[in-house]
């Protein structure tokens, strides 16, 4: 199984006629994603890689019954694009756009929530359920269908970790890049909760980075609610004190949000943290092996007690 995204999702691409929108539409179509339409005002009636273009999301949804949208429009239009998608009845919105103002995201976050929709991003690589569908910019060829869920604040680090998992023949159920901005639509706990409930996900990989307290909050949640194996990697442990690194959310302030804080919080609840991204696969293989042995032992004990 997978979370949030399956073969059934019908996808439209907002900004389909732009350079990035056009390129990644082709990549998604080639992967087997049901891309049923695109939206660019003033370009309605055209086609991009065989995908029909509509004037508005409302028109696209009425014609295609789309339930998912991926946004490739410039930052100054992206918030309106999210509102438009939600107003048209889209239930899963994936915003790839980088540079969306945090103050605008604060407003749109609550709007999306109140309408029962899910937003992934902004400033994210999207989501892929290997072998089923992908929405966004993740390189499909490095993924392998399997039973480990991956949730990450980083884009390129996600690819490195996934590549290591795949090389070790550890497949993924769903891989989600939640984005590195201070305000995002879907957080670690949202994804971990969904992976925990998914019967076909056996383990979870968490990829965090310096800044904020999301990883610490996730650690608390995992301790209380999650029985599945979890391993992690935290980026930025060598970041110079006071230096802002990469993502807008990677800001250390008031002595909190350091890599050390996050690693300590995760270790405290029994989650091993890899020193290098490539080591995540080894830690997960070890955790899954231990979980398998415990399962077999429990079955034997149950049989012998009968």
- 24 catalytic? Reply is no
| Closest by CA position to 274, among listed 165, 141, 145, 125 | 165
Residue environment code for 209-246, b if the CB has 16+ CB neighbours within 10 A, otherwise e:
bbbbebbbebbebbeeebebbbbbbbbbeebeeeeeeb
Compute the half-sphere exposure of residue 78: CA atoms within 13 Å on the CB side of its CA: 25
Tokens standing for residue 54: 């509509």
In a 3-state reduction of DSSP, which class is residue 258? Answer: coil
User: Phi and psi of 228, rounded to 5°?
Assistant: -75, 155
Helices and strands per DSSP (H, E), number in the chain: 9, 14
Nearest-angstrom CA–CA distance, 274 and 268 = 14
Tokens standing for residue 208: 């965090």
**H or E segment and range at residue 234:** strand 230-235
| Closest by CA position to 212, among listed 246, 238, 167 | 246
* DSSP state string for 175-204: EEE--SSSS-SS-HHHHHHHHHH-TT--EE
Tokens standing for residue 179: 């984005």
Exposed, middle or buried by CB within 10 Å (0-12, 13-18, 19+), for 154? Answer: buried
Compute the half-sphere exposure of residue 302: CA atoms within 13 Å on the CB side of its CA: 6
Active-site choice (24, 110, 115, 247)? 247
Residues involved in catalysis:
247
């Amino acid at each position: 199984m997978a979370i949030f995204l399956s073969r059934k999702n019908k996808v439209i691409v907002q900004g389909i006629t732009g350079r990035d929108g056009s390129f990644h539409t082709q990549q998604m179509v080639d992967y087997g994603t049901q891309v049923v339409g695109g939206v660019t005002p003033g370009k309605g009636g055209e086609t991009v890689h065989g995908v029909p273009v509509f004037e508005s999301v409302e028109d696209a949804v009425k014609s295609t019954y789309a339930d998912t949208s991926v946004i490739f429009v410039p930052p100054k239009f992206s918030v309106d694009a999210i509102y438009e998608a939600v107003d048209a009845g889209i239930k899963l919105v994936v915003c790839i756009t980088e540079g969306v103002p945090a103050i605008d995201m604060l407003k749109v976050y609550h709007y999306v929530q109140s309408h029962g929709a899910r937003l992934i991003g902004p400033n994210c690589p999207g989501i892929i359920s290997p072998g089923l569908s992908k929405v966004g910019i993740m390189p499909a060829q490095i993924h392998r269908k399997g039973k480990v869920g991956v949730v990450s604040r980083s884009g390129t680090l996600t690819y490195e970790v996934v590549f290591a998992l795949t090389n070790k023949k550890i497949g993924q159920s769903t891989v989600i890049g939640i984005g590195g901005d201070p305000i995002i639509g879907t957080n670690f706990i949202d994804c971990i909760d969904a992976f925990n409930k998914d019967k076909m996900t056996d383990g979870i990989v968490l990829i965090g980075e310096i800044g904020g307290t999301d990883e610490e909050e996730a650690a608390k949640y995992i301790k209380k609610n999650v029985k599945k194996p979890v391993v992690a990697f935290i980026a930025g442990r060598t970041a110079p004190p006071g230096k802002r690194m990469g993502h807008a959310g990677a800001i250390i302030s008031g002595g909190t949000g350091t890599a050390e804080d996050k690693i300590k919080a995760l270790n405290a609840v029994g989650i091993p943290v890899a020193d290098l991204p490539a080591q995540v696969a080894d830690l997960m293989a070890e955790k899954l092996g231990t979980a398998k042995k415990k399962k077999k032992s429990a079955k034997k004990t149950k049989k012998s007690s009968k």
